[in-house]
Amino acid sequence: MISRLLRRPGAERALERIEHPEAIGLAVALAALAAVGWLSSVFWLTVAIGIQLAVAGLGAVWILGPARLGLGFARYASLASASVALTLFGRLLVDRGGLLLSPIAAVLLWVVVWGELDADRRDRPGVLIDLALVGTVFAAAAGVQRLVPADAWPPGLVLIVLLTLVPALRAAEARGRSGVEAVGHTLLHLLAVAQVAAALALLQPPGVVGAALIALTFHAWGGAAAALESGEPSWRIAIEFGALALMGLVLALLVQGM
Residue 3 is assigned to a structural domain of this protein: no
Q: Where residue 1 falls among pLDDT bands split at 50, 70, 90?
A: very low
> 220 is in which domain, residue-wise?
130-258
Which of the four pLDDT bands, split at 50, 70 and 90, describes residue 6?
very low
pLDDT band of residue 249 (cuts 50, 70, 90) is low
Q: Could you tell me if residue 1 is inside a domain?
A: no
User: What's the whole-number mean pLDDT along residues 226-240?
Assistant: 63
89 shares its domain with 134: no
Q: How many Cα atoms are found within 13 Å in the side-chain-facing hemisphere of 3?
A: 0
Average pLDDT over residues 167-187: 89
DSSP conformational letter for 100: G
- Whether 14 has a pLDDT exceeding 50, the answer reads no
- Do 104 and 141 fall into the same domain? no
Residue 6 lies in a domain: no
pLDDT at position 196, please? Answer: 86
Q: Would 13 be classed as within a structural domain?
A: no
Q: For residue 166, how far is the Cα from the chain centroid? A: 8
Average pLDDT over residues 126-151: 88
65 or 172, higher pLDDT: 172
- 87 and 175 in a single domain? The answer is no
Q: At what angle do helices 209-229 and 234-257 cross, to 10 degrees?
A: 180
Q: What is residue 16's three-state secondary structure?
A: helix
Residues 163 and 235 placed together within one structural domain of the fold? yes
Over residues 115-133, the mean pLDDT reads 83
What single string gives the DSSP state of each residue in 165-231? Answer: HHHHHHHHHHTT--HHHHHHHHHHHHHHHHHHHHHHHHH--STTHHHHHHHHHHHHHHHHHHHHHTT
What is the sign of the dihedral through the CA atoms of 34, 38, 40 and 44? positive
Question: What does the radius of gyration of the chain's CA atoms come to, in whole angstroms?
Answer: 19
Residues 81, 200 within the same domain = no
Q: For residue 34, is it within any domain?
A: yes
For 67, the 3-state DSSP assignment is: coil
- The pLDDT of residue 147 is 86
Same domain, 141 and 235: yes
Are 112 and 166 members of one domain?
no
φ, ψ at 103 (rounded to 5°): -60, -35
**Tens of pLDDT along 37-74?**
888 888 888 999 999 999 999 999 989 888 776 678 88
155, part of any domain: yes
Q: Are residues 70 and 178 in the same domain?
A: no
77, 107, 124: which is the final residue of a domain? 124
Do 115 and 143 share a domain, yes or no? no
According to the model, what pLDDT value does residue 27 have? 92
**Does 27 or 227 have the greater pLDDT score?**
27
Q: Is residue 69 domain-shared with residue 167, that is, in the same domain?
A: no
Question: Could you give the number of structural domains in the chain?
Answer: 2
In terms of domains, do 147 and 224 share one?
A: yes
Last residue of a domain, one of 124, 149, 170: 124
Judge whether 5 lies within some domain: no
- Looking at the whole model, is its pTM more than 0.85? no
DSSP 8-state class, residue 19: S
C-alpha pair distances (Å), 200 with each of 6, 38, 154:
52, 25, 12
Instruction: Give the number of C-alpha atoms closer than 13 A to the C-alpha of residue 73, restricted to the C-beta side.
Output: 6
Give the C-alpha separation, 129 to 148, whole Å.
28
Confidence of residue 31 (pLDDT cuts 50, 70, 90): very high
Phi, psi of 2 (to 5 degrees): -65, -40
Q: What is the mean pLDDT of residues 175-189?
A: 87
How would residue 134 be classed by pLDDT, with cut points 50, 70 and 90? very high
Task: Mark whether 33 and 73 lie in a shared domain.
Answer: yes
Residues making up the chain, counted from first to last: 258
Q: Decide which of 124, 142, 177 is a domain's last residue.
A: 124
Query: 138 pLDDT band (50/70/90 cuts)?
Result: very high
**Confidence category of residue 15, pLDDT binned at 50, 70, 90:** very low
- For 16-36, letters b (16+ CB in 10 Å) and e give eeeeeeebbebbbbbbebbbb
**Is 32 within a domain?**
yes
